[in-house]
Amino acid sequence: MKLRLLVVGRGSKELADFEARFIERLKPFAQCSVIELPEGRGKQVSQRKQEEAKTIFKQAVKGFVIFDERGSLHDSKKWAAYIERMPADAQLDFVIGGADGLHDDVRAAAAACWSLSKLTLPHQLVRAVVLEQFYRAFTIIQGHPYHRV
């Protein structure tokens, strides 16, 4: 399986080691990569979102999932069930928007819209949480004791 996290903007230096640790831990289960996409440079929010949408559409495969505070909430077991339903050779793309959020066209094209919390979170933190949840999902599927409830 191939997991790609498409993220508008750069990651945090403070969270880089955390992200790298979970990308390494995912290797036995899936190939995982974080692809940083450029932030829009327009003067208006709508222009920036539109530029970012074009870049997202150039990268994301059909069936991508977006993260947004207005999306549906899923616990770790639901993440695991979603991943487990996918074919072993699937490429799953997950998209995190930039500071201004995602363009409505991206929202409309997404197969699903998930939320990590009712809180508004910085995209750098969302990256870290998503990578950890990918790992947690695979450990749930494997019956590994990492996931404790």
Binding-site residue positions for S-adenosyl-L-methionine: 97, 116-121
Binding-site positions read: 97, 116-121
Strands lying side by side in the sheet with 112-115: 31-37, 2-8, 91-96, 65-73, 112-115
DSSP bridge pairs for 65: 94, 112
Decide: 147 and 138 in contact? Cβ < 8 Å. Answer: no
Distance, CA of 40 to CA of 49 (rounded, Å): 6
Decide: 127 and 15 in contact? Cβ < 8 Å. Answer: yes
In angstroms, the Cα distances linking 99 to 15, 33, 38, 103, 140 are: 17, 21, 12, 12, 32
